[in-house]
């Protein structure tokens, strides 16, 4: 079988380049080899990197039994556990997905609106003019509380605080790109004591597990404490044979939602805050739009604002949180773009390269929300949440949360970036996050909006670089 061309550097070198300089490596390969090329990375075998809309459409609309994805995500096993939705395939995946989807859509989703605004308000209430903070830390605190409330139905109390604490310690391990290497290199997954990266990771994880299993036990023992949160829904669910989910399944799905649901949204929000203040004219336009809604706007009305929506979309275009969608591994031979691939071939859609195609996004390195108002992109041209049968189940939830958090912060405080230097993305585990977490400073409180919605005054106070 002839594979598409690709770099001939040794797999270990390609792996290090992918970990340490991912964007440059992708761009160089794209320029040299184009829409479909073969990368070779230690531990993964050949990977077909795909970034053309036509190729992505062919892949996403092919019958789902042709591909597996779950088994390609083995790298996430230490975080989410073997029975996580992310690691399942076939019928088991379909069943679990059906169970987890409803809380993230429709009326259920809208019901979280007030909670999201309230949680954001609580976090930013403590700010004082002159205070500096890391945008990434603030957005993480917010998105963690949001997901805790939606998954567990609680975000307060001793258990919630302990969970918050240990998750933060665990996530801190990914702050540096090199620390993240243990995610990719199995040989580094050795417990050399609490100070070694892996040793520290397993200790934090076992603390988190203890809390999750305690939550599960408590809800099993006290059905009256169940609400309409996701854990309660999972506890009530039965499979075709009438069996409930096991404790391990429940733990793995909670861990999946905690990880998938708050790391990603926190990073996207930190980028959005960066762009809104790096380009003051963008921030001013968002404020103008918000002002037109008048005081105390309804969360659903905020979520429908076209420019704010375009800002969120452009944020996820320019630096997608995940550079790649999940890999698709062929179960049968399959032809794509003049090649016939054999069973076992791994195809990885590169979201970053797709989003940086100049034929779709002229001047792709420029942050310009207007491009989303000027034209409609197909689901194969714009792919921040992946697609097909693995499309992110939290996509609508994440966008809703992003808009409400940004609207709440911007309406309340005037902020500025601490540095005039542009901020670049760096690897954070399997995601890409802003380097140094976007240091920012609180400038001043904004005047409450009048009932006429005084757009001019509010739009002018947006401070930039
Ligand atoms: C800005 C925020 C987010 C981004 C950029 C994002 C991105 C993604 C991407 C690219 C995928 C893989 C899709 C594919 O391969 O086709 C995915 C899957 C997934 N996401 Fe998200 N996500 C975000 C937020 C969330 C939230 C808030 C949740 C839940 C609370 C969530 C839960 C999941 C789950 C469970 C999957 C696996 C779906 C499956 O295997 O069937 N994500 N996400």
- The pLDDT tens digits of the residues spanning 7-62 come to 999 999 998 888 888 999 999 999 999 999 999 988 777 999 999 999 999 999 99
Q: Is residue 170 part of a domain?
A: yes
Ligand 1 center to 99 CA (angstroms): 15
Instruction: Name the residue among 288, 464, 263 with its Cα closest to residue 367.
Output: 464
Q: Does residue 434 have its Cβ closer than 6 Å to ligand 1?
A: no
Which tens digit of pLDDT belongs to each residue from 118-175?
A: 999 999 999 999 999 999 999 999 998 898 888 877 767 788 888 888 887 777 766 6
Contact 282, 369 (CB under 8 A): yes
Residue 301: the pLDDT is 96
Q: Is residue 151 part of a domain?
A: yes
Provide, rounded to the nearest whole percent, the portion of the chain with pLDDT above 90: 60
Q: Does residue 170 have its Cβ closer than 6 Å to ligand 1?
A: no
**Phi and psi (nearest 5°) for 443?**
-95, -60
CA distance linking residue 283 with residue 302, whole number of Å: 15
Where is pLDDT greater, at 173 or 354? 354
Ligand 1 center to 459 CA (angstroms): 34
Q: Is residue 391 part of a domain?
A: yes
Q: Does residue 264 have its Cβ closer than 6 Å to ligand 1?
A: yes
Q: Does residue 318 have its Cβ closer than 6 Å to ligand 1?
A: no
Residue 120: the pLDDT is 96
**Selection from 198-202, 255-259, 333-337 with the highest mean pLDDT:** 333-337
Which atom of ligand 1 lies closest to the CA of 401?
A: 27
Instruction: Name the residue among 325, 272, 289 with its Cα closest to residue 433.
Output: 272
Which tens digit of pLDDT belongs to each residue from 217-236?
A: 988 888 887 777 888 888 88
Ligand 1 center to 128 CA (angstroms): 35
Provide mean pLDDT across the span 443-450. 80
Owner of token pair 């275009």: 317
Which atom of ligand 1 lies closest to the CA of 60?
A: 16
78-92, 319-333, 446-460: least confident range: 446-460
Where residue 240 falls among pLDDT bands split at 50, 70, 90?
A: confident
Q: Does residue 268 have its Cβ closer than 6 Å to ligand 1?
A: yes
Report how many domains make up the chain.
1
Residue 105: the pLDDT is 79
Establish how many alpha carbons lie within 13 A of residue 315's alpha carbon, considering only the half-sphere containing its beta carbon. 31
Ligand 1 center to 86 CA (angstroms): 9
CA distance linking residue 129 with residue 220, whole number of Å: 46
Ligand 1 center to 464 CA (angstroms): 32
Among protein residues, the one whose CA lies closest to atom 7 of ligand 1? 385
Pocket residue to mutate for ligand 1, from 92, 98, 394, most atoms within 8 A of Cβ? 394
Owner of token pair 């309230």: 118
Residue 178: the pLDDT is 56
Q: Does residue 369 have its Cβ closer than 6 Å to ligand 1?
A: no
Q: Does residue 72 have its Cβ closer than 6 Å to ligand 1?
A: no
Provide, rounded to the nearest whole percent, the portion of the chain with pLDDT above 70: 92
Q: Does residue 142 have its Cβ closer than 6 Å to ligand 1?
A: no
Among protein residues, the one whose CA lies closest to atom 8 of ligand 1? 385
Q: Is residue 412 part of a domain?
A: yes
In the predicted structure, residue 291 carries a pLDDT above the cut 60: yes
Residue 41: the pLDDT is 87
Q: Is residue 3 part of a domain?
A: no
Where residue 457 falls among pLDDT bands split at 50, 70, 90?
A: very low
Read off the CATH number of the domain in which 403 is found: 1.10.630.10
Provide mean pLDDT across the span 1-9. 88
What is the span of the domain harbouring residue 74? 11-460
Q: Does residue 25 have its Cβ closer than 6 Å to ligand 1?
A: no
Q: Does residue 387 have its Cβ closer than 6 Å to ligand 1?
A: yes
Residue 151: the pLDDT is 80
Residue 16: the pLDDT is 86
Contact 151, 164 (CB under 8 A): no
Which tens digit of pLDDT belongs to each residue from 371-396?
A: 999 999 999 999 999 999 999 999 99
Residue 233: the pLDDT is 82
Burial of 273 (0-12, 13-18, 19+ CB in 10 A): buried
Contact 435, 277 (CB under 8 A): no
Q: Is residue 59 part of a domain?
A: yes
Q: Is residue 160 part of a domain?
A: yes
Contact 10, 53 (CB under 8 A): no
Instruction: Name the residue among 123, 109, 18, 128 with its Cα closest to residue 350.
Output: 18
Strands in 67-68's sheet, in edge-to-edge order, are 36-41, 45-50, 346-349, 328-330, 67-68
Where is pLDDT greater, at 9 or 100? 9
Provide mean pLDDT across the span 263-271. 95
Residue 456: the pLDDT is 42
Provide mean pLDDT across the span 63-77. 90
Where is pLDDT greater, at 456 or 181? 181
Q: Is residue 53 part of a domain?
A: yes
Q: Does residue 394 have its Cβ closer than 6 Å to ligand 1?
A: yes
Q: Does residue 326 have its Cβ closer than 6 Å to ligand 1?
A: yes
In the predicted structure, residue 91 carries a pLDDT above the cut 70: yes
């Amino acid at each position: 079988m002839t594979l598409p061309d690709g770099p001939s550097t040794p797999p270990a070198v390609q792996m290090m380049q992918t970990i340490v300089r991912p964007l440059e490596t992708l761009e160089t390969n794209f320029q040299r080899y184009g829409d479909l090329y073969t990368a070779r990375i230690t531990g993964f075998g050949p990977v077909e990197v795909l970034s053309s809309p036509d190729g992505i459409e062919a892949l996403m609309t092919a019958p789902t039994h042709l591909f597996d994805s779950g088994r390609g995500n083995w790298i996430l096993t230490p975080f989410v556990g073997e029975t996580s939705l992310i690691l399942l395939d076939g019928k088991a995946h379909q069943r679990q997905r059906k169970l987890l989807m409803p809380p993230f859509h429709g009326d259920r989703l809208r019901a979280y609106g007030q909670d999201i605004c309230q949680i954001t308000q609580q976090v930013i209430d403590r700010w004082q003019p002159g205070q500096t903070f890391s945008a990434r830390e603030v957005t993480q605190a917010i998105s963690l509380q949001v997901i805790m409330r939606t998954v567990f139905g609680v975000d307060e109390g001793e258990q919630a605080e302990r969970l918050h604490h240990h998750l933060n310690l665990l996530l801190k391990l990914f702050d540096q790109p090199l620390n993240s290497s243990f995610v990719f290199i199995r040989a580094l997954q050795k417990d050399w004591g609490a100070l070694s990266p892996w040793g520290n990771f397993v200790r934090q994880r076992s603390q988190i597990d203890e809390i999750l299993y305690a939550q599960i036990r408590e809800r099993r023992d006290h059905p009256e404490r169940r609400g309409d949160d996701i854990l309660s829904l999972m506890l009530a669910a039965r499979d075709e044979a009438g069996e409930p989910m096991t404790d391990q399944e429940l733990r793995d799905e909670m861990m999946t939602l905690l990880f998938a649901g708050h790391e990603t949204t926190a990073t996207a929000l930190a980028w959005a805050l960066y762009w809104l203040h790096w380009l003051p004219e963008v921030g001013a336009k968002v404020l103008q739009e918000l002002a037109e809604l008048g005081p105390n706007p309804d969360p659903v009305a905020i979520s429908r604002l076209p420019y704010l929506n375009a800002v969120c979309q452009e944020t996820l275009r320019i630096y997608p949180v995940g550079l790649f969608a999940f890999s698709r591994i062929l179960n049968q031979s399959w032809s794509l773009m003049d090649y016939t691939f054999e069973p076992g071939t791994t195809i990885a859609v590169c979201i970053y390269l797709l989003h940086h195609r100049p034929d779709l996004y002229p001047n792709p390195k420029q942050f310009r929300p207007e491009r989303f108002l000027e034209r409609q992109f197909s689901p194969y041209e714009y792919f921040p949440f992946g697609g097909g049968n693995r499309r992110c189940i939290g996509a609508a939830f994440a966008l809703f949360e992003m808009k409400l958090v940004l609207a709440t912060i911007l309406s309340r405080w005037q902020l500025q970036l601490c540095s005039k230097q542009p901020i670049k993305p760096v690897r954070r585990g399997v995601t890409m996050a802003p380097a140094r977490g976007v240091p920012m400073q609180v400038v001043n409180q904004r005047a409450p909006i009048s009932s006429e919605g005084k757009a001019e005054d509010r739009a002018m106070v947006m401070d930039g670089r």
